Amino acid sequence: MSNKQSQYQILRSLEKDPNYTQRQLSNDLDISLGSVNYCLKGLVEKGFVKIDNFRKSKNKVQYSYFLTPKGVEEKVKLTIEFIKIKTQEYEQLKKEIKNLKTEAREYE
């Protein structure tokens, strides 16, 4: 998975649930924990994600990750890019399936 795809998946997940832990993101998105940490740091540095810790929580390591307005805008851009990539892959698969069907008919 490319870095942009990882960023997209992380932004998408955090928008749904800002209380995701890095370990949960790693497991759910099938990305290494180190990659999640690296991507999150980059998203924070770019101003796309804001981190807030639970001050009243007994577990001071627990954080919430909030998308900033800039982060929401970036997620939209990445969504459009992701759709374009997946559409191209879909069109290529359709062509390949059509060719395979044609090839299979020749052997019937």
37 and 22 Cβ atoms separated by less than 8 Å = yes
- What percent of the chain has a predicted confidence (pLDDT) above 70? 92
Question: Which residues, 6+ apart, have CB-to-CB distance to 87 below 8 Å?
Answer: none
Mean pLDDT of 29-45: 93
Average pLDDT of the segment spanning 20-35? 93
How many other C-beta atoms lie within 10 A of the C-beta of residue 9? 20
Which residues span the domain enclosing 53? Answer: 3-106
Instruction: Give the pLDDT confidence score for residue 56 in this predicted structure.
Output: 55
pLDDT given for residue 1 in this prediction:
67
Domain containing residue 61: CATH number: 1.10.10.10
How many domains is the chain partitioned into structurally? 1
Q: Tens of pLDDT along 52-68? A: 876 555 655 678 888 99
Structure confidence at residue 83 (pLDDT): 94
The whole-model pTM stands at: 0.73
Mean pLDDT, to the nearest integer, of 70-94? 94
